[in-house]
Structures are given as structure tokens and as C-alpha cells.
Homo-oligomer: A and B are copies of this chain.
Amino acid sequence: MKMIPVTVSSIALDANTKSPVVVLSPEGQDKVLPIWIGHSEAWVIAMELSKLNASRPMTHDLLKTALETLETVVTRVDITDLRDQTFYATLTLSHDSNYFQIDARPSDSIAMALKFKAPIYVAEELFHLAEGELRSQAEKMNLTNDPESLAERLKKINPEDFGKYTL
């Protein structure tokens, strides 16, 4: 499985579904991978991108502190799979010359990658799979009354298409 390094190109609110979306893209390429995530996770990622800190430690801050206390770092994050309209990720921890991979949601993984300045990789096939899966998701869930399908919208996605997440 070829893993492509990506960066978070934006975190935004999908104007049609009102759901937050984190958009990943490979550097210097036109492709994007949009991942719909929860509001609280979007908030954490948006704060991290804006270099803002909450006055009290949020859950991801607690996770970071716990790992640091245990002399452990997040070394990389991999978005590996898409099954039943759900993206899967792994968080790689390094402790005492050992590496551990942990199953995680993409939203938590991306938040932790940003906190530890760790690289994010996406399995190349996901860029192709995502469009088909999201189209079937839109049909199955009858998500919108909008005549434009999710897949159609997906084709046009770029950060400017979303209302920016404002803090």
C-alpha cells in the first residue's frame, strides 16, 4: 500500500450538510481527501492550526501530556482504510526505541499529528475510493434534498468552497 504524505489544507464547515470537514492534500498535487468529522474534533484541529490554546487542557492536550510524561511521542499518523463510509487511521507511538501502532479515528489522529508535528500519510487508493464511497453514502442516507449529489460536490471541493471555521 503506497502511503502519500499529506498536509491539512483546511478545516471547514460544509455549507450543505453543516458538518465540519478536514481536507487533506498531498503537497504540490491537485488531489484532495475530505474527511467529515465531529464538531468537537473540528474545533480542536482548528485551534491547533490557529495556534490557539484553551485556558484549560482539552482532551487531546491531556493525551499529549500523558504521552510526554511517559516519554512517548507520536511519530506518524496513517489514514489507512475506508470501510462502510468510515475512514480508519493508526497513530504510531515511539517509546524507548519501541514503536506501537494504535487504531484511531482520523480526527483524533490528525489532531495528535498537529500537536506532535508528526507527518500524516494517506493510502493512495483512498483518493480514488473516497469519491465512490461518498456517492453511495449520500444515496443510502438520503442525506440532502439537494439535487447535487455529494460526489458532485466532492469533485469541486477546495478550501474556498467551504465557509471557513471561525474561532
In the complex, the answer to whether A104 meets B62 with C-beta atoms within 8 Å is yes
Report whether over half of chain A's contact residues are helix, strand or loop; otherwise say mixed: mixed
Which A positions have Cβ atoms within 8 angstroms of B?
38-41, 55-60, 62-63, 65-67, 69-70, 72, 86, 91, 93, 95, 100, 102-105, 108
* Copies of the polypeptide in the assembly: 2
A122 CB, nearest partner CB in chain B, Å: 18
Q: Is the CB of B91 within 8 A of A62?
A: yes
Query: What are 29 A-B pairs at a CB distance below 8 A?
Result: A39-B40, A40-B40, A41-B59, A55-B86, A56-B86, A57-B103, A57-B104, A57-B105, A59-B60, A59-B108, A62-B63, A62-B105, A62-B108, A63-B63, A63-B66, A65-B102, A66-B66, A66-B67, A66-B72, A66-B91, A66-B93, A66-B102, A67-B70, A69-B93, A70-B70, A70-B72, A70-B93, A70-B95, A70-B100
